[in-house]
Amino acid sequence: MSHSIRTALLVVLLATTCAPAAAQEKFPSRPLEVIVPTPPGGGTDIAIRLLAELAEPALGQKIVIVNKTGGGGLIGMAQVVQAKPDGHTLGGLWNAPLTMTPHMQPAPYKPTDYVAISLADSAPTVFCVKKEFPANDGKEFIEHLKKNPGKFTYGNDGVGGTIHLSAERIFSKLGVKTRPVPFGGAGETLKNYLGGHVDIYGGSITPILPYIKDGSNKCLMVTSSEKLVSMPQAASLSELGVPDTGTALWHGIVGPKGIPAERVAILEKAFREAARSDKFRQYMEPRGIKVEAASGADFRKLIDSEYAAMGDLMKSIGLTK
Amino acid sequence: MTTFDYLMGGFAVATRPDNLLFCFIGCLWGTIVGVLPGLGPLAGLTLLLPLTYKLEPASAVIMLSGIFYGAMYGGSTTSILLRIPGEAASIMTCIDGHAMARQGRAGPALVVAGVGSFIGGTMSVVGLTLFAPPLAQLMLKVGPAAEFALMALALLVMGFVSSGPVLKTIAMVVLGLLIATIGLDPLTGFPRFTFGRIEISEGLSFVAMALGLFGVSEILLNMEDVLSVKPIRPTLASLIPRAADMRASAPAIARGTLIGFVFGFVPGISHVVSTFASYAVERKLSRHPEEFGHGAIAGVAGPETANNATTGSAMIPLLVLGIPAIPATAILLSALMIHGVNPGPQLVSEHPQVFWGLIASMYIGNLMLLALNLPLVGLFVNLLRIPYAWLAPSVLLICIVGIYSVNANAAEIGIMAAFGLIGYMLRKLQFDCAPLLLAVVIGDRMEVALRRALIISDGNWAALAQDAFSRIFLGAIVVLVALQCIAWRLGVRRKDLVELKSTSEENPT
């Protein structure tokens, strides 16, 4: 009698101690949710959906994309931070809600409230002009802008947006004064640029590419320290002497802080492999987007340095809250 | 090869059995999201977008565009039957469409809306087929200055939309313009009237406001007096439009087609603004303007034609320039990019099967939608047989689910509820909600257009009248104001007397 009770107790004890261990081994145990704080169909949404689809086999679970829009991405990101840190709820984001918007608007989270899991890809911004523009390389472009302070206008993705800030970061360092005209996105910028309403196109590479191919326009500057293979005419920031002012539009995966380290490692491995896959590369590279597949640690460094740089920049141009 | 040969090549793509099926799925789903309040073409497109990743590019855009123009057909249904806009482009249809339904003439209203949609949609595709490249170049010339002038013109025309007293209309317009300033300042990023809430930092959701002001307020008004809302039993004869209906609708459909096609070039808000413009024109040209607001069939035919006629022209900037002018075509752009097709000047030469296949499918899709929607009239009209006590809560539930599913933002349900109460009070006080909503749409665009124009001109106001298009629009404003002043000088004519009389007897609409 007492023996059987003792055995039963032992079984219960074993069961309770073993259960968490077993659960830990089996991660993820249910479908994952990746919150994307933009409407479906945008660049971020497409990149994260593709990445998630490619990470599914390694994780052995479905990944559901949830689009939560509003507040310039702050609402969706707030939800990521508040989620249970068991690794089943993650966020798929671009720069602004992490490093830019929090300086302008009251964000309900700090950079320490989330863990960086992996950086998937990054794409620099290009600055392009009509073929009649009196400059043929980056140096001439900057000199011409300097000679005519406040004369030229450039279209961008909206005030405090990635393109606006990446431009101001370089221009303020080089002492160039132009007038930024905020538009709703690359499409609107392109329309107003092609129609001759603004002088300079500032934006991602894909929309302007057809107009570069037909020779009617030329891109003279790219916001990265290295040159673009597809646009040899565009000067890199190293060539312009300001290699440390580059800001790229990037996409990556983050999660709420407190996810157990071994789970972060599983997620990091799966998402890095997905970004390294041929399918991801084949989608990104023709669009002038660089596949990063960077580690969580490198992603963290990028976020922290960009967060600090953007804070200083936005203070200097009067955009902070 | 001529345009005709290319188009025939397009039909070869579009009539492949699988593409016919995708076209049908798109049209059917478009009709459904159009009918369901809260869900519009944008939500319909985003929900199906991930499914198209596995299709070939031509099939993907054929299906997705079917949703876009199909939603313009479905939107009129709940507007007419329940006075709840199925989507934003059907707000104007609520007014006379529902008044017709109250008179037991929901059938003719739905049939005219369907036929008008077909004619507007098809003619718009004809315009797209024949004139796409030159129209795209023309569109590029409309910059911020011209856009501002166009918005100012639209604001002026809005005075003709409302059947209420002028002062009340102006009050609603001003309130709408004020509401449009909520959210981040487009130039400095400073939050305006947000009270520190990030939920409204991008402004109040237009769809939530429209559903609140028109849908929720209607339910509240009806609740107050349940007995008056009796189920209406339709007979077959009452479904068919009379000869007089057809005579009144035909010119409205013709004008609606033209207005819709032209307004298709207005970036961002073409489908909404075109319906307001069409309604205003019909009311102004009508020999019986007093009937508007009380079941004038031209007030249904015009706007419902106009919103479909925008679909063809809205495609032009996307297909010819690779620039999405409205949110719905932005999704189509993504769908193409996912498949490695980059829309732009090279689209026609590099992917003719996509370009012409899509255009051909739009002819087929419009036919399918007509065939799909006319038989549905008989079915939908039976909705009115459901006792209101059951219908109202179900409709409210659909509104809530619909609005939440678009952005998964719970604040939008709150906005809808708040505007339901505001709409209820306004209508009790006999204010018209339509000018308010249009002012919100226009105010938003007008402000950014003006401020962009002024940055570009470096603060020089004279630049607002320096390009050809802004001069045309500003000229139209001057002519309209002058005509109105002359009309006032000549004194109140008989027509205006009738108008005055009818407004003094105005029902709380």
pLDDT at A5: 56
Residue A154 clears pLDDT 70, i.e. is over it: yes
Interval A283-321: pLDDT, tens: 888 888 899 999 999 999 999 999 999 999 999 988 876
- Mean pLDDT throughout A235-261? 94
- Give percent above pLDDT 70 in chain B: 94
CA of B266, closest CA in chain A: separation in Å? 12
Evaluate whether residue B171 is within a structural domain.
no
Antiparallel, parallel or unpaired: β A248-256 and A114-124:
antiparallel
Residues in chain B with CB shorter than 8 Å from the CB of A197 are 143-145, 456
Q: Are residues A180 and A288 in the same domain?
A: no
For A200, name the nearest residue in chain B, comparing CA atoms only. B456
On average, the pLDDT of chain B sits at: 86
Cβ-Cβ contacts under 8 Å, B336 against chain A = none
Identify the burial level of A287 via C-beta atoms within 10 angstroms of its C-beta, where 0-12 means exposed, 13-18 middle and 19 or more buried: middle
Interchain contact, B408 vs A67, CB within 8 Å: yes
Instruction: Work out the burial of residue A96: count CB atoms within 10 Å of its CB; fewer than 13 is exposed, 13-18 middle, 19 or more buried.
Output: buried
Taking CB atoms and an 8 Å cutoff, what residues of chain A touch B140? 191, 194-196
Task: Based on the fold, state whether residues A239 and A135 are members of the same structural domain.
Answer: yes
* Set of chain A residues whose Cβ sits within 8 Å of the Cβ of B408: 66-69
Distance of alpha carbon B420 from alpha carbon B37, whole angstroms: 14
Q: How far apart are CA B331 and CA B338, in angstroms?
A: 11
Handedness of CA B127, B132, B135, B140 (dihedral sign): positive
Query: Given this model, what pLDDT does residue B11 score?
Result: 93
Asked if residue A141 is part of any domain, the answer here is yes
Q: How far apart are CA B430 and CA B167, in angstroms?
A: 12
pLDDT in tens, B360-409: 999 999 999 999 988 888 888 888 788 888 888 888 998 898 888 877 78
The stretch A140-157 carries a mean pLDDT of 93
Beta bridge partners of A130: A217
pLDDT digit string, tens, across residues B69-122: 999 888 899 899 888 888 888 889 999 999 998 888 888 999 999 999 999 999
Separation of alpha carbons B25 and B15, rounded Å: 14
Chain A residues with CB inside 8 Å of B325's CB? 187, 191
With cut-offs at 50, 70 and 90, classify the pLDDT of residue B231: low
Report yes or no: A183 at the B interface, CB cutoff 8 Å: yes
- Indicate the residue among A196, A221, A245 that finishes a domain: A245
- A62 Cβ under 8 Å from any chain B Cβ: no
Q: Which residues of A touch B201 (CB under 8 A)?
A: 70-72, 74, 105
Residue B396 placed within a domain: no
Any domain includes A4: no
pLDDT category at B496 given cuts 50, 70, 90 is low
> How many other CB atoms sit within 10 Å of the CB of residue A25?
9
Residue A140 lies in a domain: yes
State how many domains chain B has: 1
The mean per-residue pLDDT over the stretch B439-463 comes to 90
Per-residue pLDDT at B480:
86
Residue A228 Cα, gap to closest chain B Cα (Å): 20
Q: In terms of CA atoms, which chain B residue is nearest residue A65? A: B50
A231 and A199: one domain? yes
- The beta-carbon neighbor of A210 closest among B325, B330, B346 is B346
Element (H, E) at A116: strand A114-124
Chain-chain contact of A41 with B46 (C-beta, under 8 angstroms): yes
- Range scoring the smallest mean pLDDT among A15-24, B12-21, B343-352: A15-24
Could you tell me if residue A49 is inside a domain? yes
Q: E strands of A159-247, at which residues?
A: 179-182, 200-203, 217-222
CB contact under 8 A, A70 and B201: yes
Burial of B104: CB neighbours in 10 Å, binned 0-12, 13-18, 19+: middle
Tell me the pLDDT of chain A averaged across its residues.
Answer: 88
Measured between CA atoms, the residue of chain A closest to residue B467 is A197
The answer to whether residues A29 and A62 touch, using CB atoms and an 8 Å cutoff, is no
In this complex, do A190 and B322 lie within 8 Å of one another by their Cβ atoms? yes
ipTM: 0.83
CATH number at residue A119: 3.40.190.150
Å from A5 to nearest chain B CA?
Answer: 53
Same domain? A225 vs A136: yes
- Identify the H or E element spanning B125: helix B106-141
Domain count, chain A: 2
Same structural domain, A71 and A114: yes
Tally the C-alpha atoms within 13 A of residue A112's C-alpha that lie toward its C-beta: 0
Q: Tell which A residues from 204 to 263 touch B, by Cβ distance under 8 Å.
A: 206-207, 209-211, 213-214
pTM comes to 0.84
| pLDDT for residue B502 | 54
Contacts of A183 in chain B (CB under 8 A): 452
Alpha-helical (H) ranges within B388-467 are 388-407, 411-428, 433-456
Tell me how close the Cα of A166 comes to any Cα of chain B, in angstroms: 16
A211 and B344 in contact by Cβ < 8 A?
A: yes
Nearest to A104 among B143, B145, B189 (CB): B189
What's the pLDDT band for B495 if we cut at 50, 70, 90?
low
Contact B353, A62 (CB under 8 A): no
Looking at the fold, whether A68 and A90 belong to one and the same domain comes out as yes
Rounded Cα–Cα distance for residues A310 and B343 (Å): 34
| Six token digits for residue B80 | 């007419």
Query: Residue B499: pLDDT above 90?
Result: no
- Closest-CA residue of chain A to B456: A153
> Is A70 close to B407, i.e. CB distance below 8 A?
yes
Of A245, A274, A293, the residue at which a domain comes to its end is A245
Tell whether A33 lies on the interface with B, counting CB pairs under 8 A: no
User: For residue B345, what is the nearest residue in chain A, using CA coordinates?
Assistant: A210
A contact test, residue of B49, B456, B460, B470 with most A CBs within 10 A: B456
Chain A, window 99-118: residues with a beta carbon less than 8 angstroms from a chain B beta carbon: 104-108
The 3-state secondary structure of A256-319 reads ECCCCHHHHHHHHHHHHHHHHCHHHHHHHHHHCCEEEEECHHHHHHHHHHHHHHHHHHHHHCCC
A66 in B contact zone (CB under 8 Å): yes
The C-alpha angle with vertex B228 and arms to B381 and B508, in degrees rounded to 5, equals: 95
Determine which of A75, A151, A230 to mutate to test the interface with B (most B C-beta atoms within 10 Å): A75
What per-residue confidence (pLDDT) applies to B41? 86
Q: Which residue has the higher pLDDT, B471 or A42?
A: B471
Cα separation, B113 vs A286, whole angstroms: 45
Angstrom distance (rounded) from CA A106 to CA A109: 9
Please give the pLDDT value at position A46.
86
* The pLDDT of residue A21: 45
B335-352 in b/e form (b: 16+ CB < 10 A) is bbbbbebbbbbebbeebe
Q: From chain B, pick out residues whose CB is under 8 angstroms from the CB of A69.
A: 407-409
For residue A186, give the chain B residue with the closest CA: B323
Contact between B126 and B398 under an 8 Å Cβ cutoff? The reply is no
Residue B9 counted as domain residue: yes
Range of the domain at A139: 129-245
User: Burial letters for B2-22: b for 16+ Cβ neighbours within 10 Å, e otherwise?
Assistant: eeeebbebbbebbeeeebbeb
> A205 lies in a domain?
yes
Short-list B178, B141, B212, CA closest to B446:
B178
Q: Tell me phi and psi for residue A39, to 5 degrees.
A: -65, 155
Cα gap B387→B115, rounded to integer Å: 29
What pLDDT shows up at residue B46?
A: 82
In this structure, which amino acid lies at residue B403? I
Restricting to A residues 150-179, those with a Cβ less than 8 Å away from any Cβ of B are: 150, 153, 158-160, 179
Least confident window among A109-123, A167-181, B294-308, B311-325: B311-325
**Cis (ω within 30 of 0) for the bond into B352?**
no
- pLDDT value, residue A8: 54
Q: Which of B201, B412, B450, B454 to mutate to test the interface with A (most CBs of A within 10 A)?
A: B201
Residues A137 and A224 in one domain: yes
* Of A190, A214, A245, the domain-final residue: A245
| Confidence at B272, pLDDT banded by 50, 70, 90 | confident
Name the pLDDT band for B343 (thresholds 50, 70, 90).
confident
> Considering CB atoms only, which of A68, A192, A319 is closest to B408?
A68
Q: How far is A286 from chain B (nearest CA, A)?
A: 9
A279's tokens: 């399918």
Distance from CA of B416 to the nearest CA of A (A): 16
Q: Which chain B positions have a beta carbon within 8 Å of A280's beta carbon?
A: none
What the block records as the tokens of A125 is 């911004």
CA distance B270 to chain A (A): 15
**Rounded-to-10 torsion of CA B457, B460, B466, B467:** 30
Q: Taking CA atoms, what residue in A is nearest to B196?
A: A106
Q: Indicate the burial class of A225 (C-beta count within 10 angstroms; 0-12, 13-18, 19 or more).
A: middle
Q: How many CB pairs under 8 A join A and B?
A: 149
Q: Specify whether A103 is located in the same domain as A206.
A: no
Write out the residue range of the structural domain in which residue B48 sits. Answer: 1-140+248-386
Listed in sequence order, the residues at least 6 apart from A30 whose beta carbon sits closer than 8 Å to its beta carbon are: A61, A88
From chain B, the residues in CB contact with A150 under 8 A are 458
Share of chain A above pLDDT 90, in %: 65
- For chain B, helix (H) and strand (E) counts, in that order, are 23, 2
- For residue A259, the one-letter residue type is I
- Does residue A112 sit in the same domain as residue A256? yes
Q: Tell me, what's the pLDDT at A202?
A: 92
Q: Which residue has the higher pLDDT, B305 or A320?
A: B305
Domain annotation covers residue B254 = yes
3-state secondary structure B13-34: HHCCHHHHHHHHHHHHHHHHHH
CA–centroid distance for B85 within its chain: 10
Average pLDDT over residues B478-502: 70
Tokens describing residue B309: 């006629």
Q: CA angle B456-B458-B463, nearest 5°?
A: 70
pLDDT at A321: 67
Pairing relationship of beta strands A126-130 and A217-222 according to DSSP bridges: antiparallel
Report residue A81 as tokens: 């931070």
The reported pLDDT for the residue numbered A319 is 82
Hey, is A187 helix, strand or coil?
helix
**Shortest distance, CA A261 to any CA of chain B (angstroms):** 30
Residue A271 domain flag: yes
pLDDT in tens, B6-65: 899 999 999 999 999 999 999 999 999 988 887 888 888 888 887 887 888 899 999 999
Please tell me whether residues A228 and A146 are part of one structural domain. Answer: yes
Which residues of B are less than 8 Å from A65 in CB distance? 50
Partners of residue A211 in chain B, C-beta under 8 Å? 344-345
Q: What pLDDT shows up at residue B501?
A: 54
Three-state DSSP class for A26?
coil
**pLDDT at res. B258:** 94
Q: Does B144 contact A192 at a Cβ distance shorter than 8 Å? A: yes
The answer to whether A41 contacts B50, with C-beta atoms less than 8 Å apart, is no
